[in-house]
Structure 1
């Protein structure tokens, strides 16, 4: 054991079964994240803020930007130092609405609340919330999204793939303009294809790449066949059965993950559902603050639709215009940002911490949770036995029918057939961290 490991009470083991994920286990992805990934991300935030200071100065006539930037960079450097030296998680002192909720949570952690000792979910969420707190205190950088340019670039560099996907989809819709002109089997088959397009869109994650450029390359439709064996649990049939049972007047909620190419694939799902009247409206949920680098915030949602409508490519522009028509008609709704999505809490705590949000979700026919962080919160960031049933690990969080579409980027998972994890570990010991594999779980309303 190294001197640092001994100092920080690091255990040179993998995470034990049924234990919360934590960086105190040295052979875990949580340890690698706290030790390696997050310091790199903070360094890149510092670099991006410094690069953007002239642009920000132009907006605010240059007054005070030098001092503001210096203070922000100094505070982020301090945060990085605290992270790397395993300091305690400290209360927030910003102005955001959720400050008291966060500080009450930090207080109940007790004395053993350092970055390496607490649950990984808590430490990682705190880091991004603390970043927001640092920018909050700057008069000129209060609304600055240090991840915006990376998210925008992830979308722009994926436009070729977006165009190719829409070419395929338009061909189908031209043949099947209305639900009554299509067989239910044709719609079922196509919906499952869209689920797969959406699932693999979750690979485009700036957080897992430490902020390096990510894009969807190639033709996603042509790649689907080669990815099929990488779906480790597939309940797309249950998701389809749930969808078609809702009726024209129901609502469906999509709890988004990444901006860029992935949110485009979320729009594909919404377009299909609304086109064939499987629901009356789709309610989207985004993050209240910049989060995990690439997560969708309010601005990203609207910016993406606008960029689609401004495209020089007819099929892309037509899709964007159709989305805007749904928005104008109230059939696509971006819900008011709820701070629970950027809280440290697992979803099992939602009913007590955010009862209004829970009650709203309970009115939905189907909740579609996107991505790895939502998956971690659904599973309470716990190392469940791999063969655990999804409905069991959800605990008390059962507001309505729900599903999750997630590519595997953290070392927790459920509903794997016996022996599969061992086989995958022999092929690649890091298989749970790469995004190569995916799962589609479904849990019916109780």
Structure 2
């Protein structure tokens, strides 16, 4: 990990400060409202909400030994005074402990974020997306690939990438909102002339996972990928992070939609069955560590990829380090350690920014003060 001061949360009204002091208590309230937990779980959630200092995991917690190592420098400190990336990760681990996710009682294995994920799958926006999938599937090859990539990049703005039949429906601001766009380099890496092995490290469930699956289907159907490994979380993590359970729910939603969506679900189901799509859920994805600290087995697996596509803001922070980088620092330099050609698809939702052209940076700072954190800008970074 490069020697760069990590982002902390102790600056009032900063983005990390707002996450820890406002977003996390609001999330606990939402979980309590949407899941009918018994009094003892509600009490444990209230204790987590009101904690001022960082506690250890309780004795007997499933992964307590690992967290004792990861938290040794932080237990007993104020939440706002430790690295933001670590604090967020540990908060979610404590939330699972409070809800009994790893326990032996009736609430074991219950995803506390499931109602929020299900609501997104039932949304009118997703229904509209799925109705328009026929236009994407039937589009010329490169147009369909580009639309699928755009949808996978923007996550909850994914519908704008699906509407191929009506050019006026394309959100022109998406082009302006791309802080960096190396997508041409991606298509050179996946030129269709070789047996490409693509790994996709997923981020969110719901509409974003739908878009990821559409992209995987397009890569396989166009011959840009011979095999795809889809990396999901082994357990609930941040609110909407995708697990294997979420994958199955999304496949069922695609199948139920009929038409092109059902066709994609069928093709992906077949591809999973014959090994062209493999699903992985490595424990590393739910740790507070950066990708510089990947275990050797995961390094070896990713090292065999033609391209690794890493999705989302959290994974991006773990790729480059959640630190106060100068925004013109190159993405290639910061990810030189990564064991395979790398693509990062990230909608900006936190303070970290790298790989920004100096003129573009000056314009953003002068005209769009919240560009780093408000989800309106994105990057497609490629490191061959």
Structure 1 and Structure 2 fold alike (TM over 0.5): yes
- Does residue 329 (structure 1) correspond to residue 295 (structure 2)? The answer is no
More displaced 10-residue stretch of structure 1: 255-264 or 236-245: 236-245
- Does residue 381 (structure 1) correspond to residue 322 (structure 2)? The answer is yes
Q: State how far apart, in whole Å, the 2-side matches of 1:112 and 1:420 are.
A: 42
Aligned-pair distance for 1:374?
0.4
Aligned-pair distance for 1:27?
4.6
Q: Which has the larger radius of gyration?
A: 1
Q: State how far apart, in whole Å, the 1-side matches of 2:345 and 2:267 are.
A: 24
Q: What RMSD in Å do the two structures reach over aligned CA positions?
A: 2.2
More displaced 10-residue stretch of structure 1: 27-36 or 188-197: 188-197
Per-residue deviation, residues 134-170 of structure 1 (Å, max 9, x unmatched): 2223601111111112111112213333224412123
Q: State how far apart, in whole Å, the 2-side matches of 1:149 and 1:110 are.
A: 32
Aligned pair in 2 of structure 1 residues 111, 324: CA closer, same or farther (>3 Å)?
closer
For structure 2, the 5+ residue unaligned runs are: none
Q: State how far apart, in whole Å, the 1-side matches of 2:368 and 2:79 are.
A: 28
For structure 1, the 5+ residue unaligned runs are: 1-16, 54-68, 173-185, 205-215
Q: State how far apart, in whole Å, the 1-side matches of 2:194 and 2:161 are.
A: 36
Q: TM-score with structure 1 length normalisation? A: 0.79
Aligned-pair distance for 1:218?
9.8
* Alpha-carbon contact 2:151-2:160 (below 8 Å) kept: no
Query: Counterpart of 2:190 in 1: which secondary structure?
Result: helix
* Alpha-carbon contact 1:407-1:437 (below 8 Å) kept: yes
- Does residue 159 (structure 1) correspond to residue 126 (structure 2)? The answer is yes
Corresponding residue for residue 300 of structure 1: 246
- Does residue 198 (structure 1) correspond to residue 145 (structure 2)? The answer is no
Q: State how far apart, in whole Å, the 2-side matches of 1:46 and 1:246 are.
A: 52
Q: TM-score with structure 2 length normalisation? A: 0.91
Q: State how far apart, in whole Å, the 2-side matches of 1:92 and 1:251 are.
A: 42
* Alpha-carbon contact 2:198-2:306 (below 8 Å) kept: yes
- Say how many residue pairs are matched: 375
- Does residue 437 (structure 1) correspond to residue 381 (structure 2)? The answer is no
Q: State how far apart, in whole Å, the 1-side matches of 2:222 and 2:160 are.
A: 29
Q: State how far apart, in whole Å, the 2-side matches of 1:217 and 1:234 are.
A: 17
Corresponding residue for residue 32 of structure 2: 46
Q: State how far apart, in whole Å, the 1-side matches of 2:30 and 2:361 are.
A: 34
Aligned-pair distance for 1:219?
6.0
* Alpha-carbon contact 1:308-1:317 (below 8 Å) kept: yes
Per-residue deviation, residues 389-411 of structure 1 (Å, max 9, x unmatched): 00222253x11011110111111
Aligned pair in 2 of structure 1 residues 19, 112: CA closer, same or farther (>3 Å)?
farther
Per-residue deviation, residues 18-60 of structure 1 (Å, max 9, x unmatched): 531110123521111111111111111122232xx5xxxxxxx
Q: State how far apart, in whole Å, the 2-side matches of 1:21 and 1:188 are.
A: 39
